[in-house]
Amino acid sequence: MTWTSVKDRLPEKDRIILAYLPYIYKKVDLTLEKEYNIICILYLNYCGRWNSKDNSLSYDSDSVSHWMLLPDPPKSQEHLKKQPTPRTEAGQKV
């Protein structure tokens, strides 16, 4: 997986991605401090803002410089075993 510049292409709206923010301003006490090289999981909403999955954080459209799709989760050996056929209470196959 590689990083994609937001200048080249934006992700699909509402798709969860890994985002790179070169810097953000963080409120500490009564002052703003600059924090650098932030990588977090966000999505681009329909208003053009970047939001965290739980919507607790929101960033301006120009805050993210690069993004990439999240990798597929690892497959455990349990998932590779043959799953039983689902049945109804009467014992009939679904």
Identify the band that residue 75 occupies on the pLDDT scale cut at 50, 70 and 90. confident
Identify the band that residue 1 occupies on the pLDDT scale cut at 50, 70 and 90. confident
pLDDT at 76: 75
Chain segment 19-70, per-residue pLDDT in tens: 999 999 888 899 999 999 999 999 999 999 999 999 888 999 999 999 999 9
pTM of the model: 0.71
Cα 10 to chain centroid distance, Å, stands at: 13
**Residue 80, burial from CB neighbour count under 10 angstroms (0-12, 13-18, 19+):** exposed
pLDDT at 59: 93
> How far apart are alpha carbons 85 and 91 in whole angstroms?
11
